[in-house]
Amino acid sequence: MEPILRVDGLSKHFQLHEQQKLIPSCINVSLEVYSGQLTALIGPTGAGKSSVLKCVYRTYLPSSGRILFFDAKGREIDLALASEHQMLELRSREIGFVTQFLHCLPRKSALDVVSEPLVARGAGRESAREKAAELLAMLNVPERLWGVPPATFSGGEKQRINLARGLIARPRLLLLDEPTASLDPATTDRVVEPIETIKAEGVAMLAIFHHPELVRRLADRVVELAPPVVATELLETCAH
């Protein structure tokens, strides 16, 4: 089986011009993600986990390495070199990203916020709302909140709206950056079922989980990142 995503020797650093310093954010990361499987990124805070996801989504422009993505037409695209236009296209059709935070808080009901990505892909409003309701129930969002705009929701409630919005669209590759960080253990447990459902439907996921329990239950592969300091020393040792 061929992976849908192959990251090969990915590094990202930031240049601090005033101090003439290079700040590494991830160093020499290689990993693979397959359709219907979840690859988990683990490692201490600051190890560069979020930076890897941002490079794949191209929020960050990688400094070196390759990010080979195989699109729906079977073409191989190096996301490290893809144009902005190509990235916008891929983000609208094939690659999704769920962070800890719900960024857009329009004056729309939670149900509409969640069904929006499906409607954008051509689904009927009613069937999209039915799927959204199913997901909200699965994630244990109280029904009294479904008709209310999420702006006033608690952190954990917003986080579940955000996750539902990411899960509903079934992108071919879904990036998850600590989507359960502010959930209690019982609620965290509720995310296992919808994630397993989309895995069974063939969605590939590259995920960072705050809860080791979720890595244990959901990951098909685990990739551990060393903190940049250690990785820098390793690189220097190798160079000598």
Binding site for Mg ion (CB under 5 A): 50
Which of 6, 10, 11, 25 contacts ligand ADP by CB under 6 A?
25
DSSP per residue, 128-152: HHHHHHHHHHHTT--GGGTTS-GGG
37 binds ligand ADP (CB under 6 A): no
Q: Which residue bears the tokens 């940049």?
A: 228
Q: Pick the closer one to ligand ADP by CB: 16 or 88.
A: 16
Partner whose binding site includes residue 14, from ligand ADP, Mg ion, none (CB under 5 to 8 Å by kind): ligand ADP
Instruction: State how far the Cα of 133 lies from the Cα of 129, in Å rounded to an integer.
Output: 6
Q: Pick the closer one to ligand ADP by CB: 24 or 150.
A: 24
Smallest distance, ligand ADP to C-beta of residue 221, A: 17
CB contact at 8 A, 171 and 96: yes
20 binds ligand ADP (CB under 6 A): no
Instruction: State how far the Cα of 82 lies from the Cα of 55, in Å rounded to an integer.
Output: 12
Instruction: State how far the Cα of 140 lies from the Cα of 143, in Å rounded to an integer.
Output: 9
47 binds ligand ADP (CB under 6 A): yes
11 binds ligand ADP (CB under 6 A): no
Smallest distance, Mg ion to C-beta of residue 161, A: 20
49 binds ligand ADP (CB under 6 A): yes
Smallest distance, ligand ADP to C-beta of residue 55, A: 9
Q: Pick the closer one to ligand ADP by CB: 98 or 132.
A: 98
Interacting residues with ligand ADP between 146 and 165 (CB under 6 A): none
Instruction: State how far the Cα of 62 lies from the Cα of 81, in Å rounded to an integer.
Output: 9
Instruction: State how far the Cα of 108 lies from the Cα of 120, in Å rounded to an integer.
Output: 15
Smallest distance, ligand ADP to C-beta of residue 9, A: 17
Partner whose binding site includes residue 48, from Mg ion, ligand ADP, none (CB under 5 to 8 Å by kind): ligand ADP
* 185 contact partners, CB below 8 Å, separation of at least 6: 211, 213
Instruction: State how far the Cα of 165 lies from the Cα of 106, in Å rounded to an integer.
Output: 13
51 binds ligand ADP (CB under 6 A): yes
Residue 136, both tokens: 């909200």
Residue 21, both tokens: 């310093």
Q: Pick the closer one to ligand ADP by CB: 50 or 159.
A: 50
Q: Pick the closer one to ligand ADP by CB: 48 or 166.
A: 48
Residue 221, both tokens: 């592969």
* 45 contact partners, CB below 8 Å, separation of at least 6: none
Q: Which residues of the shown chain bind ligand ADP in the complex (CB under 6 A)?
A: 14, 23, 25, 43, 45-51, 228
